[in-house]
Structure 1
Amino acid sequence: MQLSPLPALSDNYIWRLADDDGRWLVVDPGEPGPVLAAAEGAAAPLAILLTHHHADHVGGVPDLLRRWPGVPVFGPADDRIGTIDHPVGDGQRIGIGPWTFDVLAVPGHTVSHIAFLGHGLLFCGDTLFSLGCGRLFEGTPRDMLGALDRLAALPAQTRVCCGHEYTLANAAFARVVDPDNPALRRRHEEAIAMRDQGRPTLPTTLADERACNPFLRIDAPAVRAAVAARRPLAEGDRVEAFAELRRWKDGFRA
């Protein structure tokens, strides 16, 4: 099994999953070019998977369907995505060639956001990032916290395949929130080295995120204390603590 993050737009990743027999699928193609380049000489993809409706995750689909008519497109039941012909929702299991994925509802960034879980991989779009989480464009803090709690409960070695290369920017914020966390310091240093070498910092693992990501560590004393220093009323309420942490990140400038 070959997993490839294809850089796209300014900081997106399109995910390409292939097997040794040349079968492949693609996740969140925000533009067609990287997919077409990676697939040169290959057969049509078995499927296109979409996590949410934002243009930087779905914008390449029409051109890909013109290149490969009839490829099935799986995604949330959301009328804002006109290319989906296989709408899926929470609890469904889909089979695509040699792969099987469970569909998880993970609202927060958008109300209809989903993730695909299978084969030790989590395609989570803009819900969970390395050392961060998505902005709350449509959902509530309670929605997003519930989604992150759900993802954090998955097996530790699950590889997190998120939609953007945000690790360094997220690390700058995380180290302000949780400055004495040695795992976070190591992850930040590793990420700097990876980017200096032109390598993606993804996929990460849930084990690393649980150790380093302040949005998955909302119950950690250090994170809760940092939030309470900004908003004392948030100290005893984890949803409000999470909401304040997200507001803090929204306005953060390194």
Structure 2
Amino acid sequence: MTVSRRPFDALIVDYGGVLTTSMTASFAAFCVANEVDPRHLKRVLAEAYGGGAGGDLTDLVASVETGRLALEEFDVRLAALLSEGRAQPLEAADLTLRLFGGLRPDEPMVEAVRLAKGAGRLRTGMLSNTWGPRGAPSVDEGLFDTIVRSGEVGLRKPDPEIYLLTASRLGVEPERCVFVDDIPTNVEGARAVGMTATLHKHAAITLPALEALLEVALTAPPPEAGSAALRQSGDPV
């Protein structure tokens, strides 16, 4: 006997790099503007996100993401690390604001969340490790049934508890959730608690995969050619 699979009940998305444009591009612009060697920044961030041997930097990021370290102190300590090998120390004031200053909303991804919520069947959530996007583009919080920010709950991805907390707030079992993030370790963390997770690289790749999983259209249909022509002519439609 064939048993039909019931569609998922919730869509959970990361913020920076999923609902916004690429963080990598923002970091590259920061390096140019502040004369920072991009290879050094890459090494520092790789260690921060588990790509190195751990140590002080990894603990530093964990502390700011879980709200145990003030962002201003984080800026000072990160600036010191990025200043290694420089003739002049890097200005610490608003360092994270400058790092993330190039972020813009990723409109197709934001629209996808809007359509998912508008479908009426899905619960929507945002789950974000918050250490950087101060001053980043805002997102309409009305798109979400719950928003979980690491600094507000004292947990961070990829800790299992933060995924379980998000699912609990949505009133959905983890196995009924689809999660999207642009960092592989965060995707793996979601899978470890039973969620179906997708690694985001570009909306053109992510959205078809989500549509297949959720069985909901996540891209707005293009306007009809005739209607577009009328709007361009200035006539009422």
Question: What TM-score, normalized by structure 1, do the two folds share?
Answer: 0.25
Structure with the largest fraction of strand: 1
Structure whose CA Rg is larger = 2
Give the number of the structure with larger relative contact order, counting CA–CA contacts within 8 Å between residues 6 or more apart.
Answer: 2
Question: What TM-score, normalized by structure 2, do the two folds share?
Answer: 0.26
Structure with the largest fraction of helix: 2
